[in-house]
């Protein structure tokens, strides 16, 4: 089996027999939805492949290829009357360089548009009777000339714009005058606003019949509304929930094909799918309780590796997704962002919003972060939070979708709390000792000396037990060895933290670990900070408040262990750990 990892060319996928999940049955619905459409999904979620599918379906120059490309697909059995009837102008704003000042960005955008028009003219020369004039210094004039020429033909233009918000987002998140450059692009007669005005004008009976935009956030659209206020947003409509992304059934079938092709036992499938689910599943879009989706890029990364080598990739996070950590960093830098980003790690109390925000203009970025719904919505659009259901009030709960995204949060927190090389070296030493032996003493010493001292910052010191759990999670996190479960459901309760050895790593000297955390205040133990620091751990363990909490945690661990022994049997080599934190300063177990 061939998996199109990193490949978004529909034609190549179909002609060369790559794995393909058919979504072409949505084409009639999209035609009926409107003529100018917007569809947002996180980065690397299959948007470009969908645009390539539309490009091949509607391109009048590819009419002879229709049966070969689409005949075996759902739309091929009942095509719409519009197939292969359009000129196609496809733009990709992700190639526009965002690194310069406004004139440099304008030049990069104009160069891209003019280049695509040049390719257009070469492709469609037999159909065009009126000359098109290219304006090197004004691609908007080039576009207007093109639309004018198309209006003299019996055909219309379909404009496809991929990652329409990409370079604007990059400008926004840049530390180097990002907001200033962005304002120049969209304010007044800025380049972006003028460009989309030209698209809107061309769609008013002047040659442009349909427009399909893809992107990650509605940042640009909210700022160019006066220039382009006609797009219908499909992002949250249930009909298009799984337009991009894989379902569990589709991925299970693909994995079964890989196992068969490699001659591996089919009964390995459920165990592999469980690992894949934890790392790559969890995305949900739309207003209803839709089934969770797998990130297609991550799933194809795994399937491609496994089909080649018959084993799991050591690194479950594809490097193409690692840059999303910059998006988390950006939100953390906004007013009140640090508190919200850290709170997102609390699975016991998911972030909740009354509704998702849909305005992300530059002024909103500078003023609206006072509203936590705004910040949480931005993380949702970036793909580092997803819809997790509703709370008792009916508010939308936003949760971290899976293990690879949790890793991005953890790595950012590690860099914030343990920025020095020596800190990371010592962290690795103490956690690897804990992995092998379950010895908590070096780990707790490290947390007391290097980690808790940072939590004088009010943005980090947001609650007691959560701080302790997050400290252990951030310090112990290692997805090369473990599947890390925060708040796993065990029977009728929820444990604090479970480190389950990855199936492919069980041959090594790694133990499974289950930790339960409790906290007591200085007032509870009737000690000052100075007195607490002076006491040995043996003395702290005898304090009545600590004894009570240790016993409470031990009782819970006994119950959780029984559940794990029933469900996992001999698969786990489990160690349990009851940990009490005193005043966010000392740890005992």
In this prediction, residue 462 carries a pLDDT of: 46
pLDDT of residue 453: 79
Output the DSSP codes for 157-175: EEEEEETTTHHHHHHHH-T
pLDDT at 198: 93
What DSSP character marks residue 456? G
Residues 277 and 497: their CA atoms lie apart, in Å, by 18
pLDDT at 119: 97
Which residues in the chain come in under a pLDDT of 50? Answer: 459-463
Contacts of residue 226, Cβ cutoff 8 Å, sequence gap at least 6: 193
Predicted local distance difference test score (pLDDT) of residue 456: 56
**DSSP assignment of 7-32:** ---HHHHHHTT------GGGHHHHHH
Q: How far apart are CA 237 and CA 235, in angstroms?
A: 6
| pLDDT confidence of residue 177 | 57
CATH class name, domain 10-216: alpha beta
Where do you find CATH 3.40.50 in the chain? 10-216
pLDDT, residue 568, reads: 87
Q: What is the pLDDT of residue 467?
A: 83
Say what the pLDDT of residue 460 is: 44
- Taking the C-alpha atoms of residue 182 and residue 102, their distance in angstroms, rounded to an integer, is 8
Residues, the chain, total? Answer: 589
Distance CA 475, CA 446 (A): 10
pLDDT at 457: 53
Q: Are 380 and 386 in contact (CB under 8 A)?
A: yes
Residue 532 makes CB contacts below 8 A (sequence gap 6+) with: 522, 525, 540, 582, 583, 585, 586
């Amino acid at each position: 089996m061939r998996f199109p990892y990193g490949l978004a060319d529909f034609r190549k996928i179909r002609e060369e027999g790559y794995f393909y999940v058919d979504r072409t049955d949505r084409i009639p619905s999209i035609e009926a939805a409107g003529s100018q459409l917007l569809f947002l999904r996180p980065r690397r979620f299959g948007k470009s492949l969908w645009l390539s599918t539309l490009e091949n379906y509607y391109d009048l120059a590819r009419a002879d290829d229709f049966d070969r490309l689409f005949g075996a697909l759902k739309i091929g059995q009942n095509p719409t009357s519009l197939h292969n009837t359009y000129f196609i102008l496809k733009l990709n704003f992700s190639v526009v360089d965002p690194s310069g000042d406004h004139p440099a960005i304008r030049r990069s955008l104009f160069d891209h548009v003019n280049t695509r028009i040049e390719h257009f003219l070469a492709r469609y020369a037999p159909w065009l009777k009126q000359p098109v004039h290219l304006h090197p210094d004004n691609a908007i004039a080039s576009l207007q000339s093109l639309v004018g020429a198309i209006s003299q033909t019996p055909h219309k233009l379909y404009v496809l714009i991929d990652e329409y918000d990409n370079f604007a987002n990059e400008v926004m998140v840049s530390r180097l005058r990002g907001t200033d450059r962005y304002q120049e692009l969209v304010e007044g007669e800025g380049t972006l606003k003028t460009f989309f005005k030209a698209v809107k004008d061309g769609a008013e009976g002047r040659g442009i019949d349909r427009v399909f935009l893809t992107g990650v956030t509605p940042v640009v659209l909210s700022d160019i509304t006066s220039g382009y206020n006609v797009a219908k947003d499909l992002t949250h409509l249930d009909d298009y929930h799984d337009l991009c992304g894989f379902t569990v059934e589709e991925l299970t079938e693909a994995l079964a094909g890989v196992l068969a092709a490699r001659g591996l036992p089919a009964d390995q499938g459920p165990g592999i799918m469980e690992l894949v689910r934890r790392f790559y599943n969890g995305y949900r879009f739309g207003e209803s309780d839709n089934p969770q989706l797998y990130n297609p890029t991550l799933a194809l990364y795994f399937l491609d590796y496994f089909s080649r080598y018959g084993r799991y990739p050591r690194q479950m996070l594809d490097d193409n997704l690692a840059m999303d950590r910059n998006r988390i960093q950006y939100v953390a830098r906004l007013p009140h962002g640090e508190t919200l980003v850290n709170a997102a790690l609390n699975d016991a109390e998911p972030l909740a919003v009354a509704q998702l925000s849909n305005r992300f203009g530059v002024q909103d970025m500078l003023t609206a972060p006072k509203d936590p719904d705004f910040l949480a919505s931005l993380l949702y659009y970036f793909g580092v939070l997803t819809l997790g259901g509703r709370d008792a009030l009916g508010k939308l709960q936003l949760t971290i979708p899976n293990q690879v995204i949790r890793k991005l949060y953890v790595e950012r927190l590690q860099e914030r709390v343990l920025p020095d090389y020596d800190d990371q070296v010592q962290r690795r030493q103490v956690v690897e000792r804990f992995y092998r032996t379950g010895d908590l003493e070096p780990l707790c010493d490290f947390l007391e000396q290097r980690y808790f001292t940072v939590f004088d910052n009010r943005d980090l010191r947001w609650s007691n037990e959560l701080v302790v759990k997050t400290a252990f999670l951030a310090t112990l996190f290692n997805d090369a060895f473990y599947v890390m479960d925060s708040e796993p459901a065990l029977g009728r309760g929820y444990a604090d933290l479970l480190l389950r050895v990855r199936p492919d790593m069980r041959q090594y000297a790694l133990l499974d670990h289950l930790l339960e955390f409790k906290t007591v205040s200085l007032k509870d133990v009737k000690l000052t900070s100075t007195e607490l620091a002076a006491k040995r751990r043996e003395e702290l363990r005898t304090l009545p408040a600590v004894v009570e909490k240790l016993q409470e945690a031990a009782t819970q661990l006994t119950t959780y262990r029984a559940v794990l022994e029933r469900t996992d049997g001999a698969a786990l080599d489990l160690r349990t750990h009851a940990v009490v934190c005193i005043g966010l300063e000392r740890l005992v177990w």
